[in-house]
Amino acid sequence: MTDTIENVIIIGSGPAGYTAALYTARANLNPLVIEGFAWGGLLQQTTEVENYPGFREGIMGPALMQEMRDQAERFGSRFITDMATKVELADEPGGVHKVWVDEDELHLARTVILAMGAEHKKLGVPGEEELGGRGVSYCATCDAAFFKDAETVIVGGGDSAMEEAIFLSKFAKRVDIVHRRDEFRASKIMLDRARAIDNIVFKTPFVVEAFEAREGDKLPTARLRNVETGAEELLANVGTFIAIGHEPQSSSSPGRSTATTRATSSRRAARRGPTARACSRPATSSTTRTARRSPPPAPAVSPRWTRSGTCATPRRCRRRPGCPTATWPRRSGRPGRLMAAYRR
């Protein structure tokens, strides 16, 4: 355990983490970055990046992340190439937060920035890891230009899969959308746009069983299986893009403690404000600057419901007439939650 209290600890080392490190370092906050073992984020798995401003000839993904890291380090950022295992936030505003590296190394900080990012969901089939970046990709926007006039496959059935297929169709000779059901989760407008493109073909109900590298082919072979009949089909020499969503890295690392959950809940409750009472002034009343400073006295009669607002408490209240807790939903002609609770 260290007795030094850091100004800022940043957990994560993708573009977001290194950008946070750069800005806090230039503000003389001397940030400490816990970057993990696989530093650099998803761009470490990308080949040539051509759509990042400032590099007109393009730049390799790992080289870009090295440039970001070096730039943050130049202004005083410090790095720990290890995993953050637990975060315990302070209960009180302005308190000291705790971050553990491994299980026994404790760091204290006044501010913690979580920038773990997300990771592409994977199919988990044989050959996927081995052929990643060599015919199996997760970003058509990044890699579509490398598959010009090639036959390609999109795996997925949501809006992101349709967007990937539409973009990829501008480069590839053919795009097969492989989905395990005949129905798609994508919105109707995205589905119609994809179906209107001639070189996009829908292949259902199929799932990918494996990716295989075959001698003489530049791209892998995708082995598919029909989920209804069990029949297998091979798509040889195809580039595959997997678009089945993302998984936020904050869900698994670092783990949050009970104190963290309690502190977060209390802060959210503070932001929402009091929920036991609504405005004591009818929402239809006219408001002037003087009226806002000196609210009218409490009503002598019981609270009443009107079509445009409610007065659910006899107490004095300095909230404005537009208070969102006066009635919900507003202008709906129905009593709000607070008024219904009062009547019970």
Active site positions, annotated? 139, 142-143
Locus of tokens 């409610």: 310
Q: How many residues are recorded in the chain?
A: 344
Cβ atoms of residues 151 and 172 within 8 Å = yes
> Helices 61-74 and 15-26: crossing angle, nearest 10°?
20
| DSSP type of residue 297 | P
CA–centroid distance for 176 within its chain: 27
255-262: long-range contacts, CB 8 A cutoff, minimum separation 24: 255/85, 255/86, 255/87, 256/86, 256/87, 256/88, 256/89, 257/86, 257/87, 257/88, 259/88, 259/89, 259/91, 260/87, 260/88, 260/89, 262/91
**Angle at Cα 78 formed by Cα 72 and Cα 84, nearest 5°?**
110
Please give the structure tokens belonging to residue 164. Answer: 């990937």
Q: What share of the chain is helix, strand, coil (3-state, %, to 5)?
A: 25, 25, 50
Q: Cβ-count burial of 333 within 10 angstroms (0-12 exposed, 13-18 middle, 19+ buried)? A: exposed
**Angle at Cα 334 formed by Cα 328 and Cα 340, nearest 5°?**
70
| DSSP type of residue 147 | G
Please give the structure tokens belonging to residue 342. Answer: 């009062």
